[in-house]
């Protein structure tokens, strides 16, 4: 397994991680717990050392799952989790990154994950009600106390990153980045390069679309989050198929899959990028890890960029209310 370092930090992880959210929520009913424990442990056996969860996922059940699955591997793996979004009594998600709330969240996460310190602790979304300096300061205190090892932010804007980094060095930023969401290239990637911060792309396969297994006829479970995503309407899926066709052209030549080309493209962008594709299937886990053996030449990369530049992606990546929560 290839190892990558997240920015200028000493946090070294497998070049591909495992996003665990979909095991408990968002993409249909929660998967079988024992099957997911087996999958996570197979990931470790295959060389993956970087696992992503959050207190919100489930809520709480995903951290419990990850904690149980990884209990035998303490000291050999890195777990990233997140604070800053809670569920109110009505069931709504509410942002809350007050320092006292961060401490409460941390205590719960440590217990559920069965660890003494969190390897990478992200603010899940920037809280407009709490100055980022206060958030960074709270995490700085937790790092000083030995309860957190590294600080991260999820989907912040570059001004927020700079303000946070001035108080407590940020190890990694988690943001969506893939061939069908390339906005991070405008401001985020240059800022991270300048500051020496790593990037952890979530949804590196476009919430499953870039695998080539989804088209305008695909029907999702009623509890699947993609039902409300504009980019997953039948019309948008049909229009966006051109991107998958481009990936397939390359994958056929490389004897790979569209998903492997999408991940290999991401890995080729910067040496400090570590994507975290999620899956509930062992076959997909193996396929994703196989992306590390796909070599894209500079000519291949030019062909992908040239082809992608001619394709206009249809549909927003989030419903409007959720898009407002990001700092991009």
List the catalytic residues.
57
What pairing do the DSSP bridges indicate for beta strands 120-123 and 12-14?
unpaired
Do the beta carbons of residue 114 and residue 68 sit within 8 Å?
A: yes
Query: Which residues lie below 8 Å from residue 245, measured CB to CB, with a gap of 6+?
Result: none
E-state strands within the chain: 3-5, 12-14, 18-19, 50-52, 78-83, 85-87, 93-95, 120-123, 151-154, 170-176, 198-202
Do the beta carbons of residue 95 and residue 127 sit within 8 Å?
A: yes
In the block, tokens 């090892």 appear at 149
DSSP letter (8 states) at residue 12: E
Q: Bridge partners of 287? A: none
What pairing do the DSSP bridges indicate for beta strands 50-52 and 78-83?
parallel
What pairing do the DSSP bridges indicate for beta strands 12-14 and 3-5?
antiparallel
């Amino acid at each position: 397994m290839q190892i990558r370092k997240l920015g200028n930090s000493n946090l070294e992880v497998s070049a591909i991680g495992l996003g665990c959210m979909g095991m408990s929520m968002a993409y249909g009913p929660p998967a079988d717990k024992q099957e997911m424990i087996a999958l996570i442990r197979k990931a470790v056996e295959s060389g993956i050392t970087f696992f992503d969860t959050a207190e919100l996922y489930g809520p709480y059940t995903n951290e419990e799952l990850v904690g149980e699955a990884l209990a035998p591997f303490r000291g050999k793996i890195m777990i990233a989790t997140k604070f800053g979004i809670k569920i109110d009594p009505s069931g709504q998600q509410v942002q809350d990154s007050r320092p006292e709330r961060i401490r409460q969240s941390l205590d719960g996460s440590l217990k559920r994950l069965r660890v003494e310190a969190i390897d990478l602790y992200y603010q899940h979304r920037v809280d407009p009600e709490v100055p980022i300096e206060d958030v960074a300061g709270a995490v700085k205190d937790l790092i000083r106390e030995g309860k957190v090892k590294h600080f991260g932010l999820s989907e912040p804007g570059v001004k927020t990153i700079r303000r946070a980094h001035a108080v407590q060095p940020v190890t990694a930023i988690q943001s969506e980045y893939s061939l069908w969401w390339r906005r991070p290239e405008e401001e985020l990637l240059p800022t991270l390069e300048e500051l020496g911060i790593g990037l952890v792309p979530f949804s590196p396969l476009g919430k499953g679309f870039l695998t080539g297994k989804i088209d305008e006829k695909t029907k999702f479970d009623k509890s699947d989050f993609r039902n409300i995503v504009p980019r997953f309407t039948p019309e948008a899926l049909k229009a966006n198929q051109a991107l998958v066709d481009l990936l397939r052209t390359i994958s056929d030549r490389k004897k790979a899959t569209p998903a492997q080309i999408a991940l290999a493209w991401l890995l080729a962008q910067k040496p400090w990028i570590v994507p975290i594709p999620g899956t509930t299937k062992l076959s997909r886990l193996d396929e994703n890890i196989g992306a590390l053996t796909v070599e894209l030449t500079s000519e291949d990369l030019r062909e992908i960029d040239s082809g992608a530049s001619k394709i206009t992606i249809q549909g927003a990546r989030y419903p409007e209310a959720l898009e407002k929560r990001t700092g991009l």
